[in-house]
């Protein structure tokens, strides 16, 4: 089967494309290799994928009118995993139009490609940020809770994508699943993420900025567990409706200070911490209720943060540091 993975030079995209190619699928990757973070990491991911049989990378912008449709039609794509997007909450405060193009126009282009091609299923990345900043209780965010008060433009675009997908499923009968990713981490990750930047700075003895004075928590989810969930949903029969959304997280929030302590243990040195107030657009905590995706696929995260931090630091020392020197 031929599967299109958008954002294939990105963090989650590379891992998903690799898993699919290794199991024998024909995988077409699409990425624009933008400079949101160091392009050397994206190039290294592409090189890793290029060594796999059945994988081909196309360089291009998903928001370019007709590009995705041409790929879907000409290459006989039957399934699409849409992971390309402009990420980052804080970056959206400075570059809002990047989100309009990549997230809104890009998502619409993918929907149009599915409409005009012979796509059997679309799985796309949404975000836990759609839930906004509010108390979450002991059970975590549930997919059937209202998601109408985003606190960042990034979150607003992701919720808009969900609404567009619902519309296209209703109008054109396209089976779709939106995955509300909680905080993803691990080898080959994004350098702008806290765990990544903290690792580099702690290792060099540089101070780290701890926002909200450390009073934040994130549902940190290891990349292998995320890939299990993405491919599980891709392979599963359609849910009760043509368009469904699923949380995909670890369901075990980690406090920011606990995350830092784990990294300090793995790195063998204490961080120099500068405590800062909260930043605009940040949410206090995230916590995934994963009962819905578990019922569909049997999804069950396996890697806790202590183990995941060790795996990340091992990768950083063996491969990552050399790429980004």
SS3 letters across the chain: CEEEEECCCCHHHHHHHHHHHHCCCEEEEEECCCCCCCHHHHHHHHHHHHCCCCEEEEECCCCCCCHHHHHHHHCCCCEEEECCCCCCCCHHHHCHHHHHHHHHHHHHHHHHHHHHCCCCEEEEEEEHHHHCCCCCCCCCECCCCCCCCCCCHHHHHHHHHHHHHHHHHHHHCCCEEEEEECCEECCCCCCCCHHHHHHHHHHHCCEEEEHHHHCCEECCEEHHHHHHHHHHHHHCCCCCCCEEEEEECCCCCEEHHHHHHHHHHHHCCCCEEEECCCCCCCCCECCECCHHHHHHHCCCCCCCHHHHHHHHHHHHHHHHHHHHC
Question: 193: closest CA among 49, 12, 25, 317?
Answer: 12
99 labelled catalytic: no
Among 37, 124, 154, 168, the active-site one is 154
- For residues 252 and 232, what is the distance between their CA atoms, to the nearest angstrom? 20
> In sequence order, what are the residues at sequence separation of 6 or more whose Cβ sits closer than 8 angstroms to the Cβ of residue 237?
none
CB 26 within 8 A of CB 50: no
Tokens 């406090």 correspond to what residue?
255
- For residues 261 and 271, what is the distance between their CA atoms, to the nearest angstrom? 9
- For residues 230 and 179, what is the distance between their CA atoms, to the nearest angstrom? 8
Question: Which residues are designated catalytic?
Answer: 154
């Amino acid at each position: 089967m031929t599967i299109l993975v958008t954002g294939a030079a990105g963090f989650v995209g590379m891992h998903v494309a690799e898993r699919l190619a290794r199991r024998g699928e024909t995988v077409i990757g699409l990425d624009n290799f933008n400079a949101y973070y160091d392009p050397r990491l994206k190039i290294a991911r592409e090189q890793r994928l290029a060594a796999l049989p059945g994988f081909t990378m196309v360089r291009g912008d998903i928001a370019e009118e007709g590009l995705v449709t041409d790929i879907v039609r000409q290459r006989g794509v039957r399934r699409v995993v849409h992971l390309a997007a402009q990420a980052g909450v804080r970056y959206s405060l400075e570059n809002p139009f990047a989100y309009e193009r990549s997230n809104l126009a890009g998502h619409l282009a993918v929907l149009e490609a599915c409409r005009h091609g012979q796509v059997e299923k679309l799985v796309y990345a949404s975000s836990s940020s759609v839930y906004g900043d509010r108390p979450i209780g002991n059970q975590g965010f549930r997919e059937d809770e209202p998601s109408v008060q985003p606190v960042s433009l990034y979150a607003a675009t992701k919720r808009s994508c969900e609404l567009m997908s619902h519309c296209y499923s209703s109008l054109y009968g396209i089976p779709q699943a939106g995955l509300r990713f909680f905080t993803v981490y691990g080898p080959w990750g994004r350098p702008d993420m806290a765990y990544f930047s903290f690792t580099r700075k702690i290792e060099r003895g540089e101070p780290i900025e701890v926002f909200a004075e450390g009073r934040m928590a994130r549902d940190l989810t290891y990349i292998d567990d995320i890939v299990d969930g993405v491919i599980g949903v891709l392979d599963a029969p359609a849910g009760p409706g043509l368009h469904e959304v699923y949380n995909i997280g670890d369901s075990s929030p980690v406090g920011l200070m606990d995350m830092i302590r784990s990294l300090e243990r793995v790195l063998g040195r204490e961080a120099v911490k500068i405590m800062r107030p909260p930043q605009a657009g940040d949410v206090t905590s995230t916590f995934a209720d994963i009962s819905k995706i578990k019922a569909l696929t049997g999804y069950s995260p396996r890697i806790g943060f202590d183990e995941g931090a060790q795996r990340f630091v091992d990768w950083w020392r063996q491969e990552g540091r050399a790429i980004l020197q």
